[in-house]
């Protein structure tokens, strides 16, 4: 029996079991009652206050679906935030709000009645279109119906309630689970509203036994959910099927927050790439800088233009992308890599996510937060970091840093200092034997002498210059010379403009007379001097008995 045959058998058995449960009859009864109370023609003439939650009435369309009589038996739409309904009334702000790009991810509606008319038309037009015989759903929802953006959870349910023969009763997570077991690998091209429509067609093709009239789509959806929720070993082995085991037991634990730090060029990025961007991890990457914001990191609602006008779409940031992948694929290791974490205002960039960095022994965060954007995009009620997500950062210890990291921030990370030494790798050993261009000083000897001089400056002038030391990987192999006294003018210029400029502008900035003779008044003077005298432009560079061959 192949994998698809096994899954077909398991799903039919699970659906048969659902047929015997009393809750199925209740779900079908409530679905029929919903269609009698709210045909699309009624929706098209509905007033704003008859639709929204947040007002005093408990008789509104949205209230009944989330809290009222349609809440039970898998018919209702619970969880997440009120923005999932497209428009809602905020009691706290005493105004109507919709999904937006502000700090709280929502914006006030200036003219609620006008907005409601446009929104209601889009909603009803879309629902009616879903019922047409020729409907093929070959477009992205946001392109044709921009005001329905962010309503994936609600539209999934409404499409099923109105057309249970054309849409599966599946959430985004269970849809992904089903796609993978049916061998559909390009499912990510479908938005979450389109997924249930495509799934219904795929199920008809792959498991036609489910569509003989015996099974209600509610029972099929419940069966899918039962399979998804079961322990992997009781029915199927997701690893054997080539899937990640979405929503089964989380088998990957141990996620950590780690900052690798050290001198410029000590090999931080190399180690992180080797460890956390390997085939073992699904990796996401970003770099902090002074203009980087929380919206860049988490995500935001951005305008876009189509043939139908301007619409707004959710654009996730690297954190949300990594988080969603980790949640959807609990048996995979996921890494979010942040380069130069202290080049931006890390506390402001992370915002309330900082609370999630407190981890338990298994790697899962100990707290939860509310974040409208993440909850809507990832289909969550609250936001937390799962145990299979590693957050890895790099940081230079140089004084050039734009923003210092305070103790409250750093205590949530494991700090790992990268030793500034040549290791046993082939690249490191090759680099060690290269030469500073135009000199007969090996790169390893140059690093040793410069860093010794930096340490002496710490002793002489009373300030800590240790973090200014040059890393063993500060220069790349192609920037150094394979032979001593290499006359390659291009390499000599590049070495001067990279290494000597660093010494002039950062290391020796406070007391240049301790580093260079008074004849070098500018960096230009120093670079010209390097071409003539080599490393003798640096005071006492050749002390300790080293004699340059000329």
User: CA-CA distances (angstroms) from residue 322 to 94, 317, 337?
Assistant: 35, 9, 10
Q: Do residues 100 and 106 lie in contact, with contact meaning Cβ atoms separated by under 8 Å?
A: yes
Residue 328's pLDDT is what?
81
* pLDDT the model gives residue 441: 93
**What's the maximum distance between 2 C-alpha atoms anywhere in the chain?**
98
Q: Which helix (H) or strand (E) holds 441?
A: none
| CA dihedral of residues 152, 157, 159, 164 (deg, nearest 10) | 150
Burial 215-232 (b: 16+ CB within 10 A, else e): bbbbbbbbbbbbbbebeb
Q: What is the DSSP letter of 508?
A: S
What is residue 125's predicted lDDT score, i.e. its pLDDT? 96
Query: Distance between CA atoms of 146 and 314, rounded to whole angstroms?
Result: 11
**Which stretches of the chain score pLDDT less than 50?**
101-104, 231-250, 399-401, 462, 545-550
Q: Measured between alpha carbons, how far is residue 278 from residues 170, 283, 286 in Å? A: 34, 8, 16
Q: How many alpha carbons lie under 13 Å from residue 359 in its C-beta half-sphere?
A: 22
Residue 546's pLDDT is what? 42
pLDDT of residue 150: 77
CA nearest to 293, candidates 198, 413, 373:
373
Per-residue confidence (pLDDT) for residue 116, from 0 to 100: 95
- Residue 338: other Cβ atoms inside 10 A: 28
pLDDT for the residue 231: 32
SS3 141: helix
- Return the H-helix or E-strand segment holding 161: helix 152-162
The beta strand positions in 233-343, using DSSP E, are 257-262, 281-287, 299-306, 309-316, 333-339
| DSSP H or E run through 446 | helix 443-461
| Nearest C-alpha neighbor of 158 from the set 186, 122, 189 | 122
Name beta bridge partners: 538: 516
DSSP state letter for 46: -
Residue 247: its pLDDT value, please?
A: 38
């Amino acid at each position: 029996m192949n994998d698809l045959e096994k899954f077909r058998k398991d799903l039919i058995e699970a659906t048969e079991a659902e047929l015997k449960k009393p809750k199925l009859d209740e779900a079908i009864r409530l679905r029929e009652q919903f269609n009698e109370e709210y045909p699309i023609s009624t929706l098209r003439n509905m007033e704003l206050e008859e639709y929204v939650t947040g007002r005093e009435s408990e008789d509104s369309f949205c209230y009944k679906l989330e809290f009222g009589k349609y809440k039970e038996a898998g018919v209702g739409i619970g969880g997440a935030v009120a923005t999932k309904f497209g428009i809602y009334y905020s009691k706290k702000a005493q105004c109507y709000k919709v999904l937006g790009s502000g700090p709280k991810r929502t914006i006030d509606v200036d003219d609620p009645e006008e907005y409601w008319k446009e929104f209601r038309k889009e909603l009803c037009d879309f629902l009616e279109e879903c019922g047409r015989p020729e409907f093929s759903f070959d477009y992205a929802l946001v392109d044709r119906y921009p005001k329905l953006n962010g309503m994936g959870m609600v539209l999934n349910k409404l499409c099923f309630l109105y057309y249970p023969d054309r849409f599966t009763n599946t959430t985004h997570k269970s849809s992904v689970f089903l796609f993978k077991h049916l061998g559909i690998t390009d499912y990510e091209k479908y938005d979450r509203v389109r997924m249930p429509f495509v799934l219904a067609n795929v199920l008809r093709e792959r498991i036609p036994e489910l569509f003989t009239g015996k099974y209600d789509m509610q029972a099929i959806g419940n069966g899918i959910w039962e399979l998804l929720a079961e322990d992997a070993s009781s029915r199927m082995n997701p690893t054997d099927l080539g899937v990640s085991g979405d929503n089964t037991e989380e088998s990957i634990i141990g996620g950590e927050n780690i900052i690798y730090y050290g001198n410029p060029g000590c090999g931080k990025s190399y180690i992180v790439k080797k460890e956390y961007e390997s085939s073992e991890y699904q990796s996401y990457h970003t770099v902090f800088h002074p203009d980087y914001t929380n919206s860049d990191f988490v995500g935001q609602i951005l305008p876009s233009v189509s043939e139908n006008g301007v619409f707004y779409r959710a654009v996730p940031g690297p954190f949300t992308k990594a988080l969603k992948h980790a949640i959807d694929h609990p048996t995979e290791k996921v890494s979010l890599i942040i380069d130069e974490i202290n080049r931006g205002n890390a506390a402001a960039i992370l915002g309330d996510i900082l609370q999630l960095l407190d981890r338990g022994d298994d790697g899962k965060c100990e707290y939860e937060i509310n974040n409208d954007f993440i909850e809507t995009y990832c289909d969550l009620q609250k936001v937390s970091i799962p145990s299979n997500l590693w957050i890895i950062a790099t940081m230079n210890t140089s004084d050039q840093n734009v923003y210092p990291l305070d103790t409250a921030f750093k205590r949530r990370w494991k700090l790992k200092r990268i030793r500034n030494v040549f290791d046993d790798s082939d690249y490191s050993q090759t680099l060690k034997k290269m030469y500073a261009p135009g000199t007969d000083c090996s790169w390893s000897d140059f690093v040793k002498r410069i860093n010794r001089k930096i340490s002496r400056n710490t002793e002489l002038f009373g300030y800590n210059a240790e973090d200014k030391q040059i890393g063993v990987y500060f220069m790349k192999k192609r920037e150094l010379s394979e032979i001593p006294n290499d006359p390659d003018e291009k390499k000599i210029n590049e070495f001067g403009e990279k290494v000597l400029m660093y010494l002039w502008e950062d290391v020796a900035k406070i007391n240049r007379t301790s580093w260079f003779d008074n004849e070098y008044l500018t960096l230009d003077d120093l670079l010209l001097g390097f071409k003539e005298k080599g490393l003798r432009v640096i005071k006492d560079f050749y002390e300790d008995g080293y004699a340059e061959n000329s």
